Amino acid sequence: MEQDNTYIMFDWAMKHMLRDKANFGILEGLVSVLLGEEITIVELLESESNQVSDNDKFNRVDIKAKNSKGHLIIVEVQLTRQLHYLQRILYGTCKAITEHINIDQKYDQVKKVYSISILYCDYGQGDDYVYHGETRFKGIHTGTDLMVTLKEDGVIVPHLPREVFPEYYLVRVNVYDKIPETPLDEWMTYLKTGKVKEDTRTPGLQEVKKKLQYLLMSPKERREYDAHIDTIMVQNDVLDTAREEGLAEGLEEGKKIGRAEGLEEGRAEGRAEGKAEGRAEGLAEGLEEGKAEERRNTALKMISMGMSNEIIISLTGLSEKEINSLRDF
């Protein structure tokens, strides 16, 4: 079927539209398709991570919801690559658990958490576009799963640990590249392109067609939305350019250092061995220096775009002192 209608991109909708209870069906559809079970969202929960500032679009956008089973669902959109991302989503799930249990409550009140990360950036290596992580306790000799007993409504019921511990979904939007055949594929197509099949029956996407039409936005909303898309494109272009320039400079520097060190080592330990070791060491040092230069170049471009130190630190790994020195340069 043709995908000839374009709708508001999901990252914008997450921040501006999906908090409205009338639009819960969109988020319910995505989570239901991803988890493979029907999910009903009862309410959205406030969290310190629910940011609405302009700078936040470079960091994270997330919604924390509770479903009809009392489970917590965290949905985050990540637009740019961030260092220590796994640690951040781990912290997010732990924070969600502790936010929703009081000190006087028993441990049976601990909530099951689903953490869903929709990644519009390159993160990790793998040949799939959706990865699922869960906690399992397996016997080191038998390989069998441990069953634990929990009390539910006064009855002792056996459970697998993964039914209690958080689960993680990493949705790698950029690597998806296929003709949609399944409901999950249709969602991936929308997440990547903003397009939906005209005759879709996929949960959530029918609501997208009704409620997320670009043409239904007011002129002011369209201007804000278009500016958002332009900003993301510029930002990605800055990062890609800086990465390419840093890699090229690193390779060139590596060749120079490799030749110099190779000649020096060759005199001491033998010409052939020296050249090989010198080139290898020089290339490694040159690449490292190139990466450092890439981070500095990226920071300079972000400074010129008026980005805050916090954003630049999260994207480049530079210290605040280093960034301030670049601002004074």
What span, in angstroms and rounded, lies between the C-alpha atoms of 194 and 6? 5
Q: Which residues contact 280 (CB under 8 A, 6 or more apart)?
A: 258
What span, in angstroms and rounded, lies between the C-alpha atoms of 229 and 94? 32
CB-based burial of residue 166 (10 Å sphere; 0-12 exposed, 13-18 middle, 19+ buried)?
Answer: buried
Phi-psi region of 204 (alpha: psi -120 to 50; beta: other; left: phi over 0): left
Question: pLDDT category, 284, cuts 50, 70, 90?
Answer: low
Question: Does pTM top 0.85 for this prediction?
Answer: no
Nearest residue to 130 (alpha-carbon basis) of 121, 148, 117: 117
* pLDDT score for 237: 64
What span, in angstroms and rounded, lies between the C-alpha atoms of 36 and 307? 40
What span, in angstroms and rounded, lies between the C-alpha atoms of 171 and 14? 15
Structural element, H or E, at residue 246? helix 219-269
Q: Write the single-letter amino acid at 326.
A: L
Instruction: Find the range with the poorest average confidence among 2-11, 81-90, 169-178.
Output: 2-11
If you average pLDDT over residues 196-208, what whole number do you get?
A: 92
- pLDDT tens digits, residue range 239-267? 656 556 555 555 566 556 655 655 565 45
* pLDDT score for 233: 67
What span, in angstroms and rounded, lies between the C-alpha atoms of 303 and 288? 23
- pLDDT tens digits, residue range 46-73? 754 444 444 443 434 478 899 998 899 9
